[in-house]
Amino acid sequence: MMTTARSVIWRYYAYRVTGATGFYLPVSILYLRHEGFGLAFIGAAQAAFLFGMVIAEIPSGYLGDRIGRRASLAVGNGLRASAMVGLVLATSPVAYLVVKVVWAFGWAFRSGTQNAWLYELLKQYFDESEYARIEGRGKTGLLITSAATAIAGGYLYSIDAALPFVVNAALAAFGIPMLYTLPAVGDGATDSDDSVFTVREAVHMLRVQAKRPAVRWLVAYAALFNGLFGMTRTFEQPALDSLGVSVVGLGVLYAGFKLVSAGAASTVGVLEARLGIRGTFALLAPVFGIVYASIALSPVFLVPMLVCYRSTRVVIAPLRNQYLNDRLGDVGRATVLSGASMVLSTASGTANLVGGAIADSLGPVAFLPWAGLAVAGAAAVLWIATSPVRERDGSVTATTTRTTSTD
């Protein structure tokens, strides 16, 4: 049994590697910039991607619960691969926006479903309490792969701007056969009508979970930082470009970002054991207030800030999902996690839409410090007012039933 469990986990790690984005990531925003689009359109395009995720999150999460995790994840891989190719074939602003929405649907089919799938995979073959540690290691492998491919991506872009996207599309497509080497777990559809998770039940479960303070305020707190991270990711390439970093240099720099993030991801288990989820999340507001404000002192602090935000993002995601998973039952787990992802995407999309216009007038380097200070201040107020991270109590939903209870 232990040998089988280890084999399953290693195959899961191999699947995670196919989600690497290193080939195109260092040049994804520059590609649009060099196609003649300004920061306002780039912010709108990223907002279209994120709002597309909002539209797709509940259907994709429901599909993961209803017809099976693997099929839903395979659809996501296929859509992402198609969108990468579509981006280099697009010839108009409308076409770019359509491709972004298709790309968003591909990511949405992975978000909540992948989290639920891994949790249930561990529950069946290993130990679900190891979720944060296993996901942290999977993220480490993903980031190391992205680091290696980022260097190649910058070089490929210098040869032909389309190459990074096409090569990354092939990697995403390879994830589909990798998925089917793994066992099917957590499939919502069976021959018994009693076990079918209906749309009405999905909507009801979302409403019930949204009323639980332990869930609602954690998602709200995470959404603030997700909006900040989304804006930073959109405007970091124009900011670095304005400081004179070359395309090949961006590839090398992004490789460094990924390696540092990989090291950070490997510390998830340690942070959970030493600080706990509450202790880790409590540090976010003061840390990001300081590191974003530092850019106002000198643009040289931009790179350390980017290292900090990228490292922190890969740490808090598995901890956030561990926190939510521990408070959800098996039935409808992917739907609720997709609901949480929907809120995070809405926050990030709104931030990009508003931030794009401001960054276009101020410039990306001048804009980022003010964005960081605003979010850090709002997060500090929310932390004091609501205590978003709460301990589990005896009223947590049982994993074998559909009933829910409040905290």
pLDDT confidence bin for 331, thresholds 50/70/90: low
- Asked if pLDDT for residue 399 goes beyond 50, the answer is no
3-state secondary structure 142-184: HHHHHHHHHHHHHHHHHHCCCHHHHHHHHHHHHHHHHHCCCCC
Number of domains in the chain: 1
CA 94 to chain centre: 25
* pLDDT number for residue 402: 36
3-state secondary structure 328-358: CCCCCHHHHHHHHHHHHHHHHHHHHHHHHHH
CB contact at 8 A, 105 and 52: yes
Q: Which domain holds residue 257?
A: 2-183+197-386
Q: CB within 8 A of 34, min separation 6: which ones?
A: 161
- Residue 80: inside a domain: yes
CB contact at 8 A, 220 and 383: no
- Asked if pLDDT for residue 58 goes beyond 70, the answer is no
pTM: 0.71
- Asked if pLDDT for residue 202 goes beyond 90, the answer is no
- Which percentage of the chain shows pLDDT scores above 70? 85
**Both tokens assigned to 255:** 């490789």
Q: What is the pLDDT of residues 360-396, one digit of tens each?
A: 888 889 999 999 999 999 999 999 999 888 776 444 4
Q: What is the pLDDT of residues 84-107, one digit of tens each?
A: 999 989 888 999 999 999 998 888
Q: What is the pLDDT of residues 1-55, one digit of tens each?
A: 556 677 888 888 889 889 888 899 888 888 888 888 888 899 999 899 888 878 8
- Residue 205: inside a domain: yes
* pLDDT number for residue 401: 36
* pLDDT number for residue 371: 93
Region of 184 on the Ramachandran plot (φ > 0 left; ψ -120 to 50 alpha; else beta): beta
CB contact at 8 A, 228 and 93: no
CA 75 to chain centre: 17
- Residue 401: inside a domain: no
> What is the average pLDDT value for the chain, to the nearest integer?
82
Residue 266 CA: distances (Å) to CA of 229, 261, 313, 319, 332 = 20, 9, 13, 12, 29
- Asked if pLDDT for residue 326 goes beyond 60, the answer is yes
- Residue 94: inside a domain: yes
How much is the average pLDDT of 236-258?
A: 87
- Residue 245: inside a domain: yes
- The domain that holds 353 is classified in CATH as 1.20.1250.20
- Residue 149: inside a domain: yes
Q: Look at 165-169, 201-205, 239-243 and tell me which has the smallest mean pLDDT.
A: 201-205
* Residue 249: how many other CB atoms lie within 10 Å: 14
CB contact at 8 A, 43 and 353: yes
- Residue 316: inside a domain: yes
- Residue 192: inside a domain: no
Q: Which of 172, 167, 157 is nearest to 26 (CA)?
A: 157
- Greater confidence, 174 or 144? 174
CB contact at 8 A, 278 and 354: no
Most confident range (mean pLDDT) of 113-117, 170-174, 199-203, 335-339 is 170-174
How much is the average pLDDT of 256-283?
A: 86
* pLDDT number for residue 199: 59
